[in-house]
Structure 1
Amino acid sequence: MSSRIGRAVIGVAVAAMALALAPPTAQAAAPALELPFICGTSWKGDSGSSSAHRNNEIDWNMSGTTGNEDLGEPVLAAAAGTVRWEGGETSAYGNYVEIDHGGGYSTLYAHLDKKSVHLNDVVRQGDVIGTVGNTDGNTSGLSAHLHFEFRNRGGGQSYPDYIRPASFHGDAFDYAAGTETYVSQNCGTLNKAAKSINGDKYDDAIGVDSEGVAWVYYGRSGGGFSAAVRLGAGWGAFSRIAINDSNGDGWADLFAVGNGTLYYWNNRGNATFSTAQEVGPGWGAFEYVSFVDINADNKTDILARDGGKMYVYTGQGGGAFAARSLLGEGWSGLLRHTAGDADADGDGDIWATNSAGDLYFWKKTADGYATAAQVGSGWNGFRQLVAMDVNGDSKADLVAIRTSDNTLWQWLGGGAGTFGKATQIGSGWAGFTLAVN
């Protein structure tokens, strides 16, 4: 699993000695650690196989993988804190990050392939801090894994005594057995994305191919998507397939219209879905629909255009919606629209294109929506325009398929309804339909 790791004491902190007659200082509470991996994924920890281990270290690999099959998998902060140390590929730990949780407690994440955070960065529990790797300054040919340590320097201990036994979601690791498998519960709402099927901070995409088979593409740090994962067949009978969180639990649910009826599939909290539930009929008359939370209650609402009128159906959770209300008129000249949170304020903004391919933006305000602002042009060459947060910064990005060659492109959001330069993130999308929000 792991090979020999040269050990160097990293950042040994020397505490000032208290006066002999001073009252004893209360021991700070240890942080409540969660497994440092994507919510719902299964990982096997090994504390006993490496001869380089000195005291309570754990090497982690994704369950069912061998060799470098889990190389590049996201690594999350086990608890909130501040990055106190980091090192590069030539260090004894390879690329590593140590997060200070206060009270003398810290966690170390080593042999990372990539680092997403750096010295003095503040992180939340569940934030992506890097990816699983095999970097090591002393050893070549190391197989991919995450080397993890839970440290407590509060008592003035030195290495390796300050490496303490770790618990995850309240379950103490079985050091006596030497191995234990966990399913990650690192699912805090702060790192959720409304369109994340696997419960992380990155929105995911669904594409339905010409045979009606639906495929999931999981979002990754920095943008782009994973390789396709088969969701299931039979989706060719549905139109306007959508991804969004209906009940505010941080797991994106599915919606689709079939024969004019809207259906809902609840995410069970492990990237699988319930059987379809009927929401209601009458949805075949709308030219365009978007699923987005416009009132910042973490429950998706629906924007639906009928001719020149835009209606809103306020989400009530569990796939239910209130009766529609009129949002505004004058939308007939705008052929397609999409919605997402442009500025990370919690409520949904709107983008739409006209017949000339110009892109317009409406910012959500306390009184409704601001006047439209043009934020782009040249969009007639693209189809399936979808707003989603692909890089986990809580600001909506755009994803679209270029019609001329069926390649997939992304534009990262700038936070004010505008977008950066186009980046190709895929090819071979002929015959595919992207799910909307």
Structure 2
Amino acid sequence: MNRLLKIEVQEFKTFKLHFIFSLIQGIITGGFALNEYIIIKDLMGSNYQMSVLFQFSSLVFLFSIFVNEFLKRIRNKKKMLRIAAIITHLPLLIIAFFPSNNIAYQSQPFYIYLFLSIFFAFYLNTIIILPTINQMLKNQYSHENFGKLYSYSSMMNKLVIMFSTIAFGFILDWNNFGFIYVYPLFAVLGIYSIFLLSRIPYIDYSIVRRSFWRASIDSWKNTIMILKTNKPYLHFELGFMFYGFAWMLSTAVVTVYFNDIFKMNHATYGFYKNGFNLLAIILLPYFGNLIGKIDPRKFGVINFTTLLLYVIFMALAQYFPQHFAFGEIKIYYTLLTSYFFYGIFAATMALLWFIGSAYFCKNEEAAQYQSIHLTMTGIRSLFSFQIGIMLYQSVGYSFTFAIAALSLLIAMLLMIYSYKTDKIIIKR
């Protein structure tokens, strides 16, 4: 197989572990993709409570720089990953004791807050695992194969996500409280997948002599220095700030939009939530090769353009509600067009968001750059989701989507300006 992929034996061993990890994570991510719909449709939560769930998934990235300093001090990455897996996934077992009737959730809002707390704990695993994965893969894969091999794992991840989301949607239409039984199973699967990932060989030869707090302060200083001195990376992150605002703003609104305008059941919501992954899967190998050949900011323009088209057709869907039914799923022509572009976006973002920052730095700096990237994600999550809800409640869906489109246009222009004026120069 390694000959077929044209990679070294050690690269193939790493690829196999990352591939299986991505497969299992796809099952889990696909199920959790319906979380926001569960909150407003089954747990009887408010739109703002739903936006908090979205916010938590990104807010944890605010601590990325501190966590990165903590990770530097841990020589045994294998043990660290396993402990993190247990601490962040075990709370999901509590969901097995949730009630299975709407009356309990209406009379006791405690369950919604407990649900949110459990997922805040779960999302904490990302700020430990994502930078560590980047560091491990960057050390095991050659620069030329990094994007290609990562795209193959992402392709499998998205394929499984697609089927997992749709299957879980049918389960919830059959039993609204099916998540009580499924989520504890996800806890066990998640722990197993991270234990598997921890088997990727990695030796940390660095020696950290500074105190944690001194190093944390220095990390912030280093972040500022990187953004000041590495102009291409600064522009990349600024572009992502405008893109991220648009994505978070529209994501919070789309869930309410689907429930309010289209009255979707779980299966239909699941279809739109991840059905686009089929196109993403087909395109991932192509974009996996492309990202290693062109400037990541040019790649970003492609990415932001497809999201812009997604937002435009999403806004038009309320005015063109023509559709046909496929079993329990209602397929709207305009939404189908919108998610066609989202499929292209998903294929490119699966690479750009996770490994894009690695192309601006040396191999040993990958974790530092990714932690900066994740921290910026956390910063924009402080306000973007709630702004989306406030905007749609104040001025309606169309104006809210227009703001998202404008933000994406700014991101595209910034990326174009950047790659025309500043070249990426890295001494590897």
TM-score (norm 1): 0.19
Larger radius of gyration: 1
Which protein has the bigger strand share? 1
| TM-score when normalising by structure 2 | 0.19
Higher relative contact order (CA 8 A, sep 6+): 2
